[in-house]
Structure 1
Amino acid sequence: MTGRNWNASWIWGGEEESPRNEWRCFRGSFDAPESVEGPVTLHITADSRYVLFVNGEQVGRGPVRSWPKEQFFDSYDIGGKLRPGVNNTIAVLVLHFGVSNFYYLRGRGGLIAEIEADGRTLAATDAGWRTERLGGQRSNSPRMACQQAFGEVIDARELAEDWHTPAFDDGSWAQAQSIGSAGMAPWTSLVPRDIPFLTEEKLYPVSIQSLSRVKAPKYAAALDLRNQMVPESVNHANPISYCGFVATVLTLETSGVVTLGFPVGVRGKGVWVDGVLQAEWTGVQPERYYQLNLAAGEHLVVFDVTGSDHGGSYHFAIDSESAFTLRSPSGDNGVPLATIGTFDQSEYIDHRPGRRMQADHPDYNALPEAAPSAVALEAFASWIKPFEPSLYTEEDVFGSNVWRTLAERRAVPRPVLNAILPVPEPGILPVFENGDCELVIDLGVERSGFIGFEIEAPAGTIIDAYGVEYMREGYVQHTYGLDNTFRYVCREGRQSYVSPVRRGFRYLFFTVRGNRAPVKLHEIYIRQSTYPVADQGRFRSSDSLLNEAWEISRHTTRLCMEDTFVDCPAYEQVFWVGDSRNEALVNYYVFGATEIVERCLNLVPGSADETPLYLDQVPSAWSSVIPNWTFFWILACQEYAAHTGKDDFAARIWPAVKLTLTNYLEHIDDSGLLNMAGWNLLDWAPIDQPNEGIVTHQNLFLVKALRDSRALAAAAGAAEEADAFAERADRLAEAINAALWDEEKRAYIDCIHADGRRSDIYSMQTQVVAYLCGVAQDDRLAVIEGYLVSPPPAFVQIGSPFMSFFYYEALEKAGRQKLLLDDIRHNYGQMLRYDATTCWEMYPNFAENRSNPDMLTRSHCHAWSAAPGYFLGSSILGVKRGAKGWQSVEIAPQPCDLTWAEGVVPLPQGGHIAVSWEVVSAGKLKLRIEAPEDVEVNVTLPEGMEGDVTQVSYLS
């Protein structure tokens, strides 16, 4: 299946099928007819990403993330961009990753495009197209993160700025290679894009927070250790482990103080200089800095890199007032480092405990004490490996921002502010004789999209950009684990640049290095790019804190709506299946979008080739399974079918739901419980959820998934097929109550370990899920309802807003809406207290954060945390779906301690439900409802209150 008949061929260029981080330009031309009766449509897709230009004007970018076997293509109406009767130019920049990650499976480089009008093909990619590497793009630029591909280093002195325009002469470019027709592997099926195109809104910063004279260390490098140590790891995104070292020979011209810097920390056993383990270091974790007094001459520096590695960049830096050089102990290939090892390696898949890495090889243990010099190291020559140049760069923007050897803050001169203001005069950035000029630019709120700027500078001036999410009172939360940077080297004069790499951040460190004269910054901005939604939902109340919590929930959800829902716009940009269930519910109430939800749900079964249990993030090259995430996907499928009333969706998705439930039931053991290896996650908190054994919350959610599947099967016309699942759910619930309830503690235990040991940990997470999934009954139900109201202090408490979502569902079920409001006020109030414009991933100061009390959370924008956007509308405003497809609506306001509330909930079929209520006196509620005339409205007033109800209908 290709979605259409293609006349175009897949094309590529260069010498490699799948080069690492190659940005390649393509150009084709055609004569446009004088007139066309219908639309002129350009169809296009590429591996891995493209930016499309027609006659020099950017038209779009894509494609949406895809399984290679179902590669999505985009279709643009370009009639308004063409010049009738003359030659027209199509130009495409293709960014090929060349490595697998959490949203891309490595295939090979390729572009296919075709233009049709009036039933005929006007142009199509073939060997007549021209291609060339994008000038100045460095393929060895740092890997952003294990989840993502690459940032960029661009030298504009080598870049033909007008390469995409009709006037550009591409005669010196090579002809493209025709590599196959539509339907070739790995893109065996080309399918039309299933969602609208994303927005691109040009937005400007609100302030310049600071201006500083700064210095970077004399040497800084970013290394891809994962692909260096285990080269075949480019083909997957699974975590691996390896055992080995990195070494370099440092030569000082004169004796002096040398500092070795590790901006993202040290692995393994540490750092040795001349065979001596260095014990003294400074720095706030994870950073480590070793200050040494060294004599003139050669010194062997060795650092251990043994450990687990999921991908990304490792950073190493050196600074000294004394002149120094570095060379590799393995010969000169342009890289002054070498690796030693690996002495052993093993791979972990699906978080299953496999063969543990053996770090007991005698040569590993002997090094590096046995090699105090480069000469002595020759005894281990068989283990030494030159560092691959494509995996190494000294263009290390991240390391140079984390470790600034000088940061001298200055007042911001008023003319500098012109850089962020809509005025014709540029901002003039000062020149420092000894140091670089750093601006910290505040966008006002978190944003996601593409950074752009226009600048006038001397040739060779370096522009470094680094985005972070959070700063406060001198503290900068560096994006450890995410190289959220790029470098642009200026050509002479005035020039513009827009990065084609998506980034999420609020604050931008914009550093000008090496300029001989003042730099004129004409503008700097972000092209915010999100799923196209209007702010249809609304909520306001008498409590301003709740209103702010709702607003940041809405903004968070918007930023986490790309071509799928994503967990966060900065660190990962990954479609995590379990997260998206809650994100979908919030979206229904604040935006009302449905196509993106259906797209997300449809992507999940594409992982069945990897496992019928389905992966927890898709499409992905990480073979990881979180069973709960699959169960949440099943709930989301049922909720979507009920929300939209789309029985055809239920019919299409039901076979995939049935397949995974059937396979999960094969993991029921002799005790009648789900007992399996996997990433058995629910919350970032110290609950007992081992990756092997019987995990209580997992069993509970399987019960709910089995039971809820009946409604989905009924909508699909296959109700009888789900009857057996319902029966298995009842049996599983009985087994849970028999084996996992502790009568003495009056609570469900967290788990039974693989060795049969019963957990001695009791958590609110497990009790909440037992209540929510309907497994706790009778007196146990009453006990757990009491825990919802007064959580026992000895129980593990909820650690993330994601888990709070389920807690709020339980409170709503129990009729405890006041507790729900109080929890939002407390937890989201903490976020707002610290100037949050988006919702945090975790609550502050859990174990992950305790090494640094200033680090309140990891990700500051996480849509799994946007619960107020849903519950304030559903539970407090009181608007809930009745019959499927919102043919009827239930209005049940819960004032609690509020005096008024008003809001709007969008409907999937169009239109909305608008509700406003006010407590006019004790026991008296004034309620106004606006709804389409064909939607049945059912009102339930709060217990003990009378109502003055006004209902207004409008045509649907």
Structure 2
Amino acid sequence: MKPNADWKASWIWSGGDTSPRNEWRCFRKQFTLPSADAGRPVQLKITADSRYVLYVNGTAAGRGPVRSWPFELAYDEYEIGHLLRPGTDNTIAVLVTHYGVPTFQYVRGRGGLLAQVELSGEGERTVLAATDASWTTSLHAGYDSRSPRISCQLPFTEVYDAAGCDASWSDAGFDDSGWENVSVIGPVGMEPWTQLVERDIPHLTEEPVYPVRVESLSRVKPRSWGVVLDLRNHFVPSSEHHANNVRLYGFLATVIRTDKAVRATIGIVDSGRLPGSCSINGIWYPDTAYYGEKPRRFLDVELQQGDNFLMLALKGTIHGHSFHFGIDCEEPFEVVSPLADAAGTNADSRSSFATLGPFDHIEIIDHQPARPLNESHPDYDRARAISSAAGLHEFPEWLRPVDNRYVSKDDVFSQCIWTTQSVRLPVPYSLHQAVIANRSAAVVPVYPGEDTEMIIDFGKEYTGYIEFEAEASAGTTLDFYGLEFIQDGWRQDTFELDNTMRYVCREGRQSYSSPIRRGFRYLMVVVRNTAAPVQFHRISMLQSNFAVAEIGRFRSSDALLNDIWEISKHTTRVCMEDTFVDCPAYEQAFWVGDARNEALVNYYVFGDDAIVKRCLRLVPGSQFQTPLYADQVPSGWNSVIPNWTFFWAIACLELYEFSGDRSFAEQIWPQVRSTLDHFAEKLDDRGLLYMKAWNLLDWAPIDQPRDGVVTHQNLFFVKALRSASRIAADTDPAGAARLLARADALKTAINAHLWSEERNAFVDCIHSDGRISRVFSMQTQVVAYLCDIAEGERQRILENYVAEPPVEFVQIGSPFMSFFYHEALAKLGRIDIMLDDIRTQYGHMIEHDATTCWEMYPRPLERRNHPNELTRSHCHAWSAGPGYFLGAYILGVRGLNPGWTKIAVEPNIADLTWATGTVPLPGLGRIDITWHVDRANRKLRLRVETPLGRELSITAPVGYELELERIELGS
């Protein structure tokens, strides 16, 4: 960390709004590098709120910052000397995107840019340029600030008009004389960025990846009209400052104007979790009148000539997702404000919508509403009788126009998924030139009166930035939509994820690189409004992830296990950004509990510990939200899952055990101790953890209420306390002993109150009203065994449950929970059962062409939006456990001490005949393992290669003679 005093720069911004919504702002500065200083190192330090893309003399040089707390904002440093021209003007140009709303990876601050160019050498540092009043700025004319939210977890989609801007704005020769000078808003150290911290991880990778084929070609006609509304921020303006759930109810109204009576379809393509029922001219349609797949809802209606008053009754809990609303009609129509005058001129120029309400609303903080929602207000009940726009004015207290900034006219998502006509065509071979890395172009056919839809397959899921080069006529619209799963002609649309981008072309040949990260396997490209065929010279992905080498390897005599290991590795890689993330598409959020399992996979596949340290250090920053630490950070959502904090404490120990970094253990110990002490305040008079919280472990139907004593939570609290005591065993023996004693006391309380003598098993919970759960689950028994809670006969009973799960118990419901189940099986020595379970569960994914691990095992039919929807996210790193278990237990490599200078090599042969692979070692080198089984002669041939100085404890399978070849590199 460098002190704030090292900076000579000031924070700069412009415009009257300190935290504008979805603002894209350009900054420029020219400076001279003296000819005498040519060849000397030149560094540029930079950070921004919320994100930036840096250009030096027109060359893209970096992007950032990494996700941070605003009070510990990270800055980046680049060596830019090779991009500079000595003795003449050089240009720094920066595109800054300010979100103006919090997300699951960003806490809202204010718009700001900070940058400094330094010339260094011989112990001296000269500032060549720094953000100050001499910099110029302009809003970027190409980006539409009214683009919709991607999701509640992420900021905004991208709507870019190439004809509306000068793409050369970042070049050195650009004339910025028409730009304004920036405003200096304060010095380094100002609120909210009170402390700057040096970036603690390498810059992420950026590698071009090309698709493998054109999956399909279709002629399509989209719905006639659609918009996206941000109803949460409109109804409750204070919700722009947080990402918590809001519960509300009210009405949304508009007017559909037609020249004659027509038939139309009203569509709520994605409600954003805020369901609505519909009335036309005062006639309410029952919800049963809607048809179509969930969450798409369509209603056929008869519209009268003239004005038709449409009102939606909305009631529910909304997290920040967008509300996609559309209309399809073969005849012309207008959608106008219900506040328009009789002549048809909108009295409100801001949008075509108005609302009544909310008649009540509550913010839900840490899943706890401050009070119940008053779900029936007299004015709400009376307003349901409104039959025309004039009736709205009877409710002046509740009536508000919807500001245009909350309404996006570019609903690319619904245009892509709601088509009134789609004709699939054979794909001509020439069209594949769009995905081949050569100099030939693919000509996309044009169909009069229709749009051309092309879906391309990248072969596997990636995460990064869409890039393309095309030749098109001015005004041609290119819509892009990323998907994860297509099978047998059916595609799984990404509801609650607006994974789209719109690019409006200028005339001629042009290229574009999106600054917004997306994840997908398939990319739909739709050509609209074109006057001539579009030529694609390139469509690619700038794949970006944490900078790691793929050191780990695994191969065996079982081809299915090999495939499963490969998808586990790739899943983990694309879920490593500036932190671990749950998934590259839907959320891109650092979920604290997920990351514990991801870290273990990473150790065995990539061997990196920098990303793990960064993740673990970020967590205590959430203490301003809760002393129990938030479950995803840094985030505007104040949310606690107790188990996720316990997994964080466990992961702190596992990081120390892998890396041997005692300084990290000493630094993190006070934060671990602090939060576990706060959890201890939740122990009741029985000595059990009793909490109102999101008491989650698995999505299966186990009994895990949000208020009461949840057994699996108490069990993991024991493990967290023990892990914490080991972190501090050398540096704070008294503190370690105190936590260990607390763990022992909690173990005693669990055995006293949560074991059922009748069923010989641990119950799932004790409800807040004192009821003891009648549910018995494998989840609870697995965790009890894994956390060493039971002893004697109870322990033997749990061992039997782990080996042979009783059919009447709730079974494991997710790959995440399977990680703990597989840990328990490994502890029990039942590697055979573990392999069979991996083959069954993950083999189902492989059968469905999975290239990454799914978030869930196939959903029950009643929980699907469509029979073919097997899971939500098709790439989820909490599911990548085989990448850890196959290395740790089939190759048999496990560290025996911090830093792994002592290593166990204990191959488990199971039903395999051979296995070979590599496990990275912390700090230096790797360990290569190859073994072959000679069952006839009961021999195991084992080859082990390690760096010099590693102490090995090698054990052959029981009943097998070992033939060992050991090689030490450096000897």
TM range (shorter): over 0.9
TM-superposed deviation, 1:927 = 0.7
Correspondence for 1:88 among 87, 90, 113 = 90
Could you say what secondary structure the match of 1:270 adopts?
strand
Q: What residue ranges of structure 2 are gaps of 5+ in the alignment?
A: 340-346
Could you say what secondary structure the match of 2:850 adopts?
coil
Q: Bigger CA drift: 628-637 or 702-711?
A: 702-711
1:898 maps to 2:904: no
TM-superposed deviation, 1:378 = 2.8
AA in 2 matched with 1:359: E
Match runs of 1:199-598 below 5 Å: 199-265=205-271, 267-268=274-275, 270-279=277-286, 280-330=289-339, 331-368=347-384, 370-598=385-613
Q: Deviations over 1:155-184 (max 9, x none)?
A: 111111000000100000000111111111
| Superposition TM-score, scaled by structure 1 size | 0.98
Between the aligned partners of 1:80 and 1:269, the Cα distance in structure 2 is 58
TM-superposed deviation, 1:380 = 2.5
Q: Is the 8 A contact 1:210 1:440 kept in 2?
A: yes
Between the aligned partners of 1:59 and 1:846, the Cα distance in structure 2 is 48
Between the aligned partners of 2:401 and 2:142, the Cα distance in structure 1 is 25
Between the aligned partners of 2:744 and 2:736, the Cα distance in structure 1 is 13
Match runs of 1:150-169 below 5 Å: 150-169=156-175
Residue equivalent to 1:6: 7
Q: Bigger CA drift: 358-367 or 174-183?
A: 358-367
The root-mean-square deviation of aligned C-alpha atoms, in Å, is: 1.3
Q: Is the 8 A contact 2:350 2:401 kept in 1?
A: no
TM-superposed deviation, 1:305 = 2.0
AA in 2 matched with 1:290: L
Q: Bigger CA drift: 273-282 or 569-578?
A: 273-282
Could you say what secondary structure the match of 2:823 adopts?
helix
AA in 2 matched with 1:606: G
Between the aligned partners of 1:49 and 1:428, the Cα distance in structure 2 is 35
Q: Bigger CA drift: 572-581 or 3-12?
A: 3-12
Between the aligned partners of 1:691 and 1:405, the Cα distance in structure 2 is 44
Q: Is the 8 A contact 1:333 1:386 kept in 2?
A: no
Could you say what secondary structure the match of 2:6 adopts?
coil
Between the aligned partners of 1:808 and 1:950, the Cα distance in structure 2 is 30
TM-superposed deviation, 1:656 = 0.4
Correspondence for 1:610 among 614, 619, 625 = 625
Between the aligned partners of 1:124 and 1:737, the Cα distance in structure 2 is 63
Residue equivalent to 1:68: 70
Q: Deviations over 1:919-942 (max 9, x none)?
A: 023321111111112110111111
Match runs of 1:794-873 below 5 Å: 794-846=808-860, 849-873=863-887
AA in 1 matched with 2:836: D
TM-superposed deviation, 1:294 = 2.6
Closer, same or farther: CA 26–851 of 1 in aligned 2, 3 Å: closer
Q: Is the 8 A contact 1:849 1:856 kept in 2?
A: no
Between the aligned partners of 1:920 and 1:33, the Cα distance in structure 2 is 72
Name segments (4+ residues, structure 1) moved above 4 Å: 265-269
Between the aligned partners of 2:787 and 2:862, the Cα distance in structure 1 is 29
Q: Is the 8 A contact 1:255 1:322 kept in 2?
A: no
Residue equivalent to 2:41: 39
AA in 1 matched with 2:225: Y
Between the aligned partners of 1:850 and 1:439, the Cα distance in structure 2 is 27
Q: Is the 8 A contact 1:45 1:111 kept in 2?
A: yes
AA in 1 matched with 2:486: M
AA in 2 matched with 1:242: L
TM-superposed deviation, 1:277 = 1.8
1:639 maps to 2:654: yes
Q: Is the 8 A contact 2:39 2:81 kept in 1?
A: no
Could you say what secondary structure the match of 1:731 adopts?
helix
Query: Matched residues, percent identical?
Result: 53
AA in 2 matched with 1:511: V
TM-superposed deviation, 1:677 = 1.1
Q: Bigger CA drift: 656-665 or 247-256?
A: 247-256
1:112 maps to 2:114: yes
Could you say what secondary structure the match of 2:270 adopts?
coil
Between the aligned partners of 2:854 and 2:738, the Cα distance in structure 1 is 41
Between the aligned partners of 1:202 and 1:269, the Cα distance in structure 2 is 43
AA in 1 matched with 2:332: A
Between the aligned partners of 1:838 and 1:387, the Cα distance in structure 2 is 42
AA in 2 matched with 1:294: L
Residue equivalent to 1:173: 179
Q: Bigger CA drift: 284-293 or 223-232?
A: 284-293
Residue equivalent to 1:53: 55
Q: Bigger CA drift: 776-785 or 647-656?
A: 776-785
Could you say what secondary structure the match of 1:776 adopts?
coil
Q: Deviations over 1:492-533 (max 9, x none)?
A: 111111110000001111001100111111111000000011
AA in 1 matched with 2:375: A
Q: Is the 8 A contact 1:685 1:796 kept in 2?
A: yes
TM-superposed deviation, 1:644 = 0.6
TM-superposed deviation, 1:722 = 1.1
AA in 2 matched with 1:498: S
Residue equivalent to 2:891: 877
AA in 1 matched with 2:137: T
Between the aligned partners of 2:243 and 2:946, the Cα distance in structure 1 is 49
Q: Deviations over 1:94-117 (max 9, x none)?
A: 010000111101110000000111
Between the aligned partners of 1:629 and 1:3, the Cα distance in structure 2 is 33
Between the aligned partners of 1:700 and 1:445, the Cα distance in structure 2 is 38
Correspondence for 1:680 among 684, 690, 695 = 695
Between the aligned partners of 2:622 and 2:641, the Cα distance in structure 1 is 13
AA in 2 matched with 1:366: R
Match runs of 1:126-141 below 5 Å: 126-141=132-147
1:752 maps to 2:766: yes
Residue equivalent to 1:709: 724
Between the aligned partners of 1:125 and 1:470, the Cα distance in structure 2 is 46
TM-superposed deviation, 1:36 = 4.3
Match runs of 1:931-946 below 5 Å: 931-946=946-961
Q: Is the 8 A contact 2:75 2:199 kept in 1?
A: yes
AA in 1 matched with 2:9: A
| Superposition TM-score, scaled by structure 2 size | 0.97
Between the aligned partners of 2:382 and 2:420, the Cα distance in structure 1 is 34
Q: Is the 8 A contact 1:225 1:314 kept in 2?
A: yes
Between the aligned partners of 1:281 and 1:678, the Cα distance in structure 2 is 35
AA in 1 matched with 2:78: Y
AA in 1 matched with 2:199: R
Closer, same or farther: CA 334–458 of 1 in aligned 2, 3 Å: farther
TM-superposed deviation, 1:402 = 1.8
Between the aligned partners of 2:586 and 2:677, the Cα distance in structure 1 is 35
Aligned residues: 954
TM-superposed deviation, 1:778 = 1.2
TM-superposed deviation, 1:244 = 0.6
Q: Is the 8 A contact 1:613 1:663 kept in 2?
A: yes
Between the aligned partners of 1:439 and 1:413, the Cα distance in structure 2 is 12
Between the aligned partners of 2:688 and 2:861, the Cα distance in structure 1 is 30
Could you say what secondary structure the match of 1:69 adopts?
helix
TM-superposed deviation, 1:851 = 4.2
Residue equivalent to 2:342: none
TM-superposed deviation, 1:311 = 0.3
Q: Is the 8 A contact 1:138 1:154 kept in 2?
A: yes
